Amino acid sequence: MFDLTDRVAVVTGAGQGVGAGIAEALAKQGAAVAVNDLFDDRAAGTVDAIKSAGGRACVAAFDVCDYDAVKAGMEAVVAELGPIDILINNAGVPPGMGVKQFRETTPDEWRPYIELNTFGVMNCCHAVADGMCERGRGRVVTISSGAGTVGIPLGIAAYGAGKGGGIAFMRHFAMEIAKEGVTANTVAIGLIDNHTDPGVTEHMARTVPTGTLGQPQDIAAVVLYLASDEAGWMTGQTIQLNGGNVTT
Ligand SMILES: NC(=O)c1ccc[n+]([C@@H]2O[C@H](COP(=O)([O-])OP(=O)(O)OC[C@H]3O[C@@H](n4cnc5c(N)ncnc54)[C@H](O)[C@@H]3O)[C@@H](O)[C@H]2O)c1
């Protein structure tokens, strides 16, 4: 099950963290993976890991917020690996992301979160949708956050707004392409174990019903299913994946 041999995948923001885990898992299932990131050295690190494990991958460095760069970047992927079958919109943390109560922020501080999590997702979907629909086959998965579906008093309102925009877009996008053999789903993930301070990690884990933070492999497992042929009847959904933190 979930064999991705001969499939071509693009994973955005895959130079580290969750995206790197997803890219490596897709490659293990047989996909050739274009590893996108803002930083080409980060993307190259993930490509090296995939190649060391015997997989196929290439660097695809571009800013998902820049529509022209996305179009050119996706065209370069097609030229190098072949037509794109799978798009994973994972990039979602702008450089320097912090927490601040909304009343203390200025409009300039909101924009990067909306640019990346709403327009970034739309840019990438727009760039691959025609090719997928023409070939009658495609899988699009967006990595979102519980913050896009519920309120959290942490000082991440603009991030939540961007994630919420991405979630709403994906639902409509899924409906428009459902008859073309292309599915589009969102995975709204919870707290991930990517903090270096063990005190912070321990404190955060205590807030999760399972008592554990998520690992990139936990996210990759659901993405593999959504990217597979077996998931053809699954579309337009927002799946909560969070150790029980948000239940709907
Ligand atoms: N880490 C968490 O606890 C958590 C929780 C909920 C949701 N998420 C979501 O999971 C996804 C992955 O998060 P992560 O913690 O692994 O992120 P991360 O910050 O560790 O890595 C994200 C990568 O995306 C790249 N990136 C940022 N902006 C980009 C752009 N404009 N174009 C291309 N690449 C860009 C960065 O350079 C970075 O390498 C994100 O969508 C995030 O919002 C994370």
Residue nearest to atom 22 of ligand 1 (CA): 13
Q: Is the pLDDT of residue 248 over 90?
A: no
Q: Put the strands of the sheet holding 138-145 in their side by side order.
A: 56-61, 32-37, 8-11, 86-89, 138-145, 182-189, 238-241
Q: Is the pLDDT of residue 236 over 90?
A: yes
Domain boundaries, the chain: 8-191+214-236
Q: Span 142-161, mean pLDDT?
A: 97
Q: Span 105-127, mean pLDDT?
A: 98
Q: Do residues 101 and 155 lie in contact, with contact meaning Cβ atoms separated by under 8 Å?
A: yes
C-alpha of residue 179 to centroid of ligand 1, in Å: 31
pLDDT cut 90: percent of the chain above it: 96
Domain spanning 8-191+214-236: which superfamily?
A: NAD(P)-binding Rossmann-like Domain (3.40.50.720)
Q: Give residue 227's pLDDT.
A: 98
C-alpha of residue 92 to centroid of ligand 1, in Å: 4
Pairwise CA distance, residues 6 & 46, whole Å = 19
Q: Is the pLDDT of residue 196 over 80?
A: no
- Report the atom number in ligand 1 closest to the C-alpha of 92: 41
Q: Span 56-80, mean pLDDT?
A: 98
User: Is 159 noted as a catalytic residue in this protein?
Assistant: yes
pLDDT confidence band for 87 (50 / 70 / 90): very high
On average, the pLDDT of the chain sits at 97
Q: Is the pLDDT of residue 198 over 90?
A: no
3-state SS of 41-76 is: HHHHHHHHHHHHCCCEEEEEECCCCCHHHHHHHHHH
pLDDT digits (tens, 9 = 90+) for 208-235: 999 999 999 999 999 999 999 999 999 9
Ligand 1 lining (C-beta closer than 6 Å): 12-13, 15-19, 36-39, 42, 63-65, 90-94, 116, 120, 143, 145, 189, 191-192, 194
pLDDT digits (tens, 9 = 90+) for 161-186: 999 999 999 999 999 999 999 999 99
- Report the atom number in ligand 1 closest to the C-alpha of 213: 3
Mutate to test the pocket of ligand 1, among 10, 11, 12, 18 (most ligand atoms within 8 A of CB): 18
Q: Give residue 194's pLDDT.
A: 87
Residue nearest to atom 26 of ligand 1 (CA): 13
pTM of the entire structure?
A: 0.98
- Report the atom number in ligand 1 closest to the C-alpha of 13: 24
3-state SS of 152-189 is: CCCCCHHHHHHHHHHHHHHHHHHHHHHHHCEEEEEEEE
C-alpha of residue 193 to centroid of ligand 1, in Å: 13
Burial class of residue 96 in the structure, from the number of CB atoms within 10 Å of its CB (0-12 exposed, 13-18 middle, 19+ buried):
exposed
Q: Do residues 36 and 43 lie in contact, with contact meaning Cβ atoms separated by under 8 Å?
A: yes
